[in-house]
Amino acid sequence: METVKIGIVGVGNIGSFHMRNVLGGELKNAELLALCDINPEKLDRIQEQYGNRFKLYGDVDDLLADPEVDAIIIATPHYDHPVIAIKGLKAGKHVLVEKPAGVYTKKVREMIEEAKKHPELSLSLVYNQRMNPTYQKAKELVESGQIGELRRTNWIITNWYRSQSYYNSGGWRATWKGEGGGVLLNQDPHQLDLWQWICGMPERIFSFAYYGKRRDVEVETEVTAYCEYANGATGVFVTTTTETPGTNRFEIVGSQGKIVIEDEQLKFRRTVTDEKEWNETYTGGFGEPEVWEIKIPVAFDGSTGHLRVTQNFVNNILFGEELVAPATDGIYGLSISNAIHLSSWLGQWVELPIDEDLFLEELNKKIADSKDKDVKEKVLNTENTY
């Protein structure tokens, strides 16, 4: 195989984004061959614009039966992500899954187990922010011990503003049975993934989530979550879709340094002496270790991640390049998301790994009470939103 022939499943907002990405000419060794959507109006629009350039399918099983399709990109509503991925793997297709990996970890675990049966196939996630050199550098600084022992993490990510008209653009949006969650599941999977990718998984979580606050939706629009790590470090995650102007500030504090990522910059300050050692030896009362501001040679890149993570997927298929976002990693950020939901529903601490059966039981209660939305589906302009 010299060229990976791709089929995109779901051509709504993000599916159309992937379509433009593949057609943009920068993705090497890949060709867009087919498109699939259950909404015939979307396929009609594509045919009006492109004629018979692509194979068009109204059923994913028909696309997966096409022997010319080598790989699929899944860009459907969230519940379908692991379901279609499993089908794709069984059909012998390489699979790239949009975030989140799924709605609940139990189903994502099934996807991972299916992937183990097909080691010849690639299964990756669109965690495009892992391609950002700034987050890669933060991970390097933490893992190499440059900040000492992890003490505290804080992420305020409130620049996900979404209007009511956004929520009204699809009948599945912001419903328990259609989407399975709100800001945590739709907007924040990248941050939840990066949080654990850089700082590690917490041991337990307590959260406050507000459902339908300031928007006519069923799911969470505002969250404050507190977590604890095995070594005693703590973390706070704050997010909402109803605040403007918003903030995106990520702090990682250790016993010998502090990383702050904000305004597309990484700032690193480090103490000459580790705080623990300083505290054990200093006898002067008031005082603190000397602090250096260190210039880190890294440039923020929040715009090319989708292309780069898709290229990584293609390169893995053709050349064996290591996946930056293997699907096995998708369960970690989703575990945090599920734990935040479960804690808010039960009003108590939730230990990690979570009780997957209990989470699904509680989610099914939400689904049972979920209401249908009578709205006309729209494909929105997604420029600069990912």
Res 172: pLDDT: 87
Res 1: pLDDT: 86
Q: Is 188 helix (H, G, I), strand (E, B) or coil?
A: coil
Res 382: pLDDT: 56
Res 35: pLDDT: 98
Phi, psi of 17 (to 5 degrees): -60, -45
Distance of CA 205 to the CA centre of its chain: 19
- Written as one string, the DSSP assignment of 16-82 is HHHHHHHHTS-STTEEEEEEE-S-HHHHHHHHHHHTTSSEEESSHHHHHT-TT--EEEE-S-TTHHH
Res 170: pLDDT: 86
Res 194: pLDDT: 98
Answer whether 149's CB lies under 8 Å from 275's CB: no
Tens digits of pLDDT across the chain (386 residues): 899 999 999 999 899 999 999 999 999 999 999 999 999 999 999 999 999 999 999 999 999 999 999 999 999 999 999 999 999 999 999 999 999 999 999 999 999 999 999 999 999 999 999 999 999 999 999 999 999 999 999 999 999 999 999 999 888 899 999 999 999 999 999 999 999 999 999 999 999 999 999 999 999 999 999 999 999 999 999 999 999 999 999 999 999 999 999 999 999 999 999 999 999 999 999 999 999 999 999 999 999 999 999 999 999 999 999 999 999 999 999 999 999 999 999 999 999 999 999 999 999 999 999 998 777 666 666 555 54
- Please, what are the domains in the chain? 4-126+304-325 (3.40.50.720), 130-302+333-368 (3.30.360.10)
89/173 Cα distance (integer angstroms): 27
Q: Which residues contact 274 (CB under 8 A, 6 or more apart)?
A: 148, 255, 256, 289
Q: Is 323 helix (H, G, I), strand (E, B) or coil?
A: coil
